[in-house]
Each structure stands twice: as structure tokens, then as C-alpha cells.
Amino acid sequence: MSAGLIDGAALAREVYAALGDRLRALAGQGVTPGLVVVQIGEDPASNVYVRNKMRACEAAGLRSAVRQLPADCDEAEVLALVAGLNAEPATHGILVQLPLPAGLDAERITQAIDPAKDVDGFNWMNLGALVAGRARFEPCTPRGVMALLGRAGVPVEGSRAVILGRSNIVGKPLALMLVNRSATVTVCHTRTRDLERHTREADILVAAAGRAGLVTAAMVKRGATVIDVGINRDASGKLVGDVDFASVREVAGRITPVPGGVGPMTVAMLIENTVLAAERTAGVSGS
Ligand code: NAD
């Protein structure tokens, strides 16, 4: 039996459709949500991601702009740009596209973003609020995973969830979100012993390790939901996730493809967070 596909692009369209009323309410107050992406240097993958975000803003009816700096700029320039955007009323969301060129401290720069405009949810104020179960902005990728589970009707409460990866932007915040929704969560990483013993227990298995082919069919419990966050290139240059899709889909109950799974939903969550930021500034209540 082949797993049901969780179509991230289709589910993301549902998110955009649900934003329509909220955008109209904001427009009634003369407000169009605005996102500014700060891009430093010319990383080819970043160019693609930034372009996708701009397109999504345009399609959803948001204002968006890219502020570019050269790869050899110094940190003071970046911090000055961020400070200027923090003070700009029409900019509701600010995102610094990662990775940054060598020599720039990504942590110092992302922490300089006003927490009220931190639509990526990387600021420690926002991560701390998530720990306390009082999230203001949740990081887009783990929020996207939760949205996929919710919209695909995957039961979370009481489930066993296993996450491969413990990064501050995916694995750790996702673990908190799942715990806050009453899943029992195991977070695995490079030092985890006997990975398969953990993954085979999972009702929900999320791969966010950045290792092509890491998850094989033998590691998956029959009927489990498998969410593939990974983005890798295989030897032929093709985009692949962390999951060996062809074999795992014969065992899993539901599975996300790469591309077309977590990626589109991550972008949709960025748009949703930007709308939320604008609603808070305008004093309009959102969903
Ligand atoms: P990261 O490199 O910061 O973290 C990777 C994590 O995986 C680490 O905690 C590491 O311990 C763990 N890991 C690595 N190899 C492992 C192994 N063999 N077994 C168990 N754990 C292992 O990466 P990240 O920023 O969290 O991103 C993870 C992946 O998700 C990457 O492929 C990235 O490109 C992708 N990503 C996708 C989206 C999206 O929108 N689809 C967004 C963000 C990240």
C-alpha cells in the first residue's frame, strides 16, 4: 500500500485563502502588511528562496521589498539597516535571509530585529515565549509542519512524535510546539544511539537533519505520518529531502514530498506571520 500524499502546495493555498478576510479588514484601516527581506551577498540558493518569498507576498497582496547589501559589508552596516527598518511604520515584518557570508554574526543580527517584527520567530524573546506556551511569532518551518499536520487531519494529541534534528530554527521549536499540543516527543541528533529504535516508535516522524536518504523504510512504523523537512541535492543535482521517498511511501500512512511539502507551507507561514504583525500594529484582531 502506498502512503497518502500530504500536498503542501494545495494546503498552503488554503492558508492564503483563509487570509482574505483578514487582509480586507486591514485594508479597511488603510493598512497593507509589509515585509522586508534583508539579503546579504549573492548565495544562489538564497536568491531562489528570496524570489519565492517576494512572489508569495505579491500573490497574497502584501507589500514586499528586498534590501540588498554586498557580501563584504560590515556588521555595523547591517545593524544600521535593521535599526532603520525597526523604526519604519510601514514595515511590519523583517527577515534576514540566512546563511550570511563569513564574518557576519547571524545571531547578533537576527537578535537586533524588533521582536514585534520578527516574523521568522528567531528572536530569543519569541523563542522564550514559545517555551512558556505563549508564542507571539513561531518560526515558520516548524509552524508549517504543525499546519500540515492540522490541515491533513493527523492526530497530534497523545501521539508519539520523533524529530530528527535539534536546530534552533526547526527541531527544537517543533519539539515545543508538539509538546504544547500534547504529543510525546523525542528529539534525535547526530549523537543519538540506535536511531532506528526511536524512529520505529513514531506515529509522527519529522526528518530535519539535512541528510539525503537518512530515513529508510526499515526505520518507519507501518502507517506512520512522515514529514520531510530536509532540502538536499542528490548526485545528479536533483532536489531531495532526508527521506528515501520511494521506499518509505510503501510503509508510511502519509508522507510529504520534496519539493512540494514543507517548503510551500513554510512560505505561507511567513505571509501569515506578516499579516499577524500588521494586525497587532493596527490593533485589528486576527484569527
Ligand atoms: P542544521 O544543520 O542546523 O541542523 C541539522 C540537525 O540534524 C542537527 O541538530 C543535527 O544534530 C541533526 N542531524 C544531522 N545528521 C543527523 C543524523 N545522521 N542523524 C540524526 N540527526 C542528525 O539544519 P536546519 O537548519 O535545522 O535544517 C535541517 C534541514 O531542513 C536542512 O536540509 C535544511 O535545508 C532544511 N530546511 C528546510 C526548510 C523548508 O522550508 N523546507 C526550512 C528550513 C530548513
- Give the distance (Å) from ligand 1 centre to CA of residue 260: 18
Q: What pLDDT, on the 0 to 100 scale, is given for residue 281?
A: 95
Q: HSE (CB half, 13 Å, CA atoms) of 76?
A: 0
264 contacts 9 by C-beta, under 8 angstroms: yes
CATH topology of domain 140-262: Rossmann fold (3.40.50)
95 contacts 35 by C-beta, under 8 angstroms: yes
Average pLDDT rounded to a whole number, residues 142-159: 98
Q: What pLDDT, on the 0 to 100 scale, is given for residue 267?
A: 98
Nearest residue (CA) to ligand 1, atom 3: 167
- At 27-69, the pLDDT tens digits run 999 999 999 999 999 999 999 999 999 999 999 999 999 999 9
- Give the distance (Å) from ligand 1 centre to CA of residue 209: 3
What is the pLDDT of the chain when averaged over all its residues? 97
Q: What is the largest CA-CA distance in the chain?
A: 56
Q: What pLDDT, on the 0 to 100 scale, is given for residue 118?
A: 98
Nearest residue (CA) to ligand 1, atom 16: 190
Question: So which residues are the catalytic ones?
Answer: 53, 97, 120
In the predicted structure, residue 285 carries a pLDDT above the cut 80: no
- At 185-222, the pLDDT tens digits run 999 999 999 999 999 999 999 999 999 999 999 999 99
- At 252-276, the pLDDT tens digits run 999 999 999 999 999 999 999 999 9
25 Rama sector, left if φ>0, alpha if ψ -120 to 50, beta otherwise? alpha
- Give the distance (Å) from ligand 1 centre to CA of residue 211: 7
Beta bridge partners, 43, equal none
- Give the distance (Å) from ligand 1 centre to CA of residue 228: 10
Strands 254-255 and 225-228 come out as parallel
Please report which confidence band the pLDDT of residue 184 belongs to, taking 50, 70 and 90 as the band edges: very high
In the predicted structure, residue 77 carries a pLDDT above the cut 70: yes
What pTM value is reported for the model? 0.97
CATH topology of domain 30-114: Rossmann fold (3.40.50)
Q: What is the distance in angstroms between the CA of the first residue and the CA of the last residue of the chain?
A: 38
Nearest residue (CA) to ligand 1, atom 43: 141
Average pLDDT rounded to a whole number, residues 4-8: 98
In the predicted structure, residue 165 carries a pLDDT above the cut 60: yes
Q: What pLDDT, on the 0 to 100 scale, is given for residue 284?
A: 87
- Give the distance (Å) from ligand 1 centre to CA of residue 19: 30
Task: Select from 48, 231, 267, 271 the residue to mutate for testing ligand 1; criterion: most ligand atoms less than 8 Å from CB.
Answer: 231
Are 30-114 and 140-262 in the same CATH fold? yes
C-alpha distances out from residue 130 to 121, 133, 177, Å: 9, 5, 8
C-alpha distances out from residue 41 to 5, 58, 84, 102, 231, Å: 36, 23, 20, 10, 21
Measure CA 250 to chain center.
Answer: 27
Q: Where are the domains of the chain?
A: 30-114, 140-262
196 contacts 218 by C-beta, under 8 angstroms: yes
Cβ < 6 A, ligand 1 pocket = 141, 164-167, 169-171, 188-190, 192, 195, 208-211, 214, 229-232, 262-263, 266
Spell 42-59 as b/e; 16+ CB within 10 A means b. Answer: ebeebeebbeebbebbee
Nearest residue (CA) to ligand 1, atom 34: 231
199 contacts 188 by C-beta, under 8 angstroms: yes
In the predicted structure, residue 11 carries a pLDDT above the cut 90: yes
Nearest residue (CA) to ligand 1, atom 6: 165
In the predicted structure, residue 287 carries a pLDDT above the cut 70: no
153 contacts 163 by C-beta, under 8 angstroms: no
Task: Give the C-alpha separation, 264 to 62, whole Å.
Answer: 17
